Amino acid sequence: MDINPTIFKSYDVRGIYPQDLNEQNIVPIIKAIYAYLKPATLVVGTDMRVSSPSLTKVALGTLVELGAKVIDVGVLSTPTFYFSVDHYGYDAGIQITASHNPKEWNGIKIVKKGPSGLIKIGKSTGLEEIKEMALKGKSLPLTGGGTVVKKNGILKDEVENSLKIAGNPQISKFKIVADAANAMGSQYLEALFKNIPVELIRMNFTLDGTFPVHQPDPLQKETLVDLQKKVISEKADFGLAPDGDGDRLFFIDERGKIVAPTIITSIVAKELLKKNPGERILIDIRYILTPKKIIEESGGKMVITKVGHAYITQAMNKTVGIFAGESSAHYYFRQTGNAESPMPVILIILKVLTETGKTLSQLAEEYRGSFESGEINFKVINGQEIIQEAKNKYRDGRIDTLDGVAVAYPNWRFLLRTSNTEPLLRLTVESYDQSVMEEKRDELTALIKSFTKL
């Protein structure tokens, strides 16, 4: 069975249906996953994409032929899937999803239980081995006799766990607009807001794998325009925009402005450190100035990680950190197995708004410690060459090569790294001074373009 090797990405399996991933070639992939994991219990979940039911059916059938004990958690978000694996003590899990990708795509996210939390299977944690096994057709014997057991009530337990993480806060009445993009985030938002005093204004909550309104990718700012307008017209306290599988969540303040994920990270970190002083807070290397100030002032220890959810979860396991925030709006908690969990983030933001009486825009200004460029992407084939040129030009700064090259000066810094999933070079710049950020952003952009090869 032909398998396109490029569908094995840095963090998961992902390709266009049916040319890259289909009902035929998913079989050797599932066999390889099971042979690699050798789990006593295996959770299987899925999203709402048009191709997901048939792919999931084949996956379940293949696992039964392999003799697996399968827990079928049905259609749910990726955070709820992660929660189910961790909370109930299962050995591993696979989620049929392509996250925020367009409707033509589908894929598989893989996770296993580790000694101090979940381990996401990516390039550095087993996916290369699974790839080789799938391409070579290696598998365990088909013994038959596998079982599939349905698991219900997961969302109820996840809401209770989220309330516990947030300290079961007293929350005032709020009006919130949420645009779920016809994707999985609508599920946990509905479940959460049934338990707290929130007036929820719903946008695109019907599950529809064709994404009739817009792609479920809040990193594309054009997908947020309608939500921003709705927040203003409804005079809402803020807006929420989860991505396709619900593991990323963006906040829009009451003025319709996007709140930087580093600010959300800082607010959550400060609240957690109040009751857990000295704990480690993890952030990715793209932007560090805003959270660094808050974490240090709050008595925490900041740990910088590579970009990407598999790397961050890996670092969470290693450092036993209490919380991690990624600048692409992934948020991770030790109490959810080191996996993404948007619900406690929402609750903590509501708690702080209740206790301070401030608006989200006021909080954002209070917590913002730097000005950020946003991620700027360049399509190139010579990314490493450009990184070396930047490293040479800015060699008088403090250089960090954890992920690409990061260079820091007293009042500004930048990161230049190649994408883990696309032929792109990614630039981020931050400074304590907005004009300096803009000047250095333009300076680096000109440098990159002068050396770009397409």
Catalytic residues: 99
Widest Cα–Cα separation across the chain: 66
Quote the CA–CA distance of 52 and 95 in Å, as a whole number. 10
Quick check: helix, strand or coil at residue 131? helix
| Placement of tokens 């000109």 in the chain | 446
Q: Which helix (H) or strand (E) holds 31?
A: helix 26-37
Please name which of 183, 188, 186, 179 lies closest in space to residue 239, comparing C-alpha atoms: 179
Quote the CA–CA distance of 18 and 406 in Å, as a whole number. 39
**Tokens of residue 194, six digits:** 């049934």
Beta strands in 296-363 (DSSP E): 301-305, 323-325, 331-333, 339-340
**Tokens of residue 250, six digits:** 């963006």
Rg (Cα) of the chain, in Å, rounded? 22
**Tokens of residue 180, six digits:** 């779920």
Q: Which helix (H) or strand (E) holds 44?
A: strand 42-46
**Tokens of residue 4, six digits:** 């396109």
Quote the CA–CA distance of 203 and 424 in Å, as a whole number. 32
Quote the CA–CA distance of 284 and 304 in Å, as a whole number. 5
Please name which of 222, 191, 194, 216 lies closest in space to residue 203, comparing C-alpha atoms: 216
Quote the CA–CA distance of 70 and 85 in Å, as a whole number. 12
Quick check: helix, strand or coil at residue 343? helix
Burial of 346 (0-12, 13-18, 19+ CB in 10 A): buried
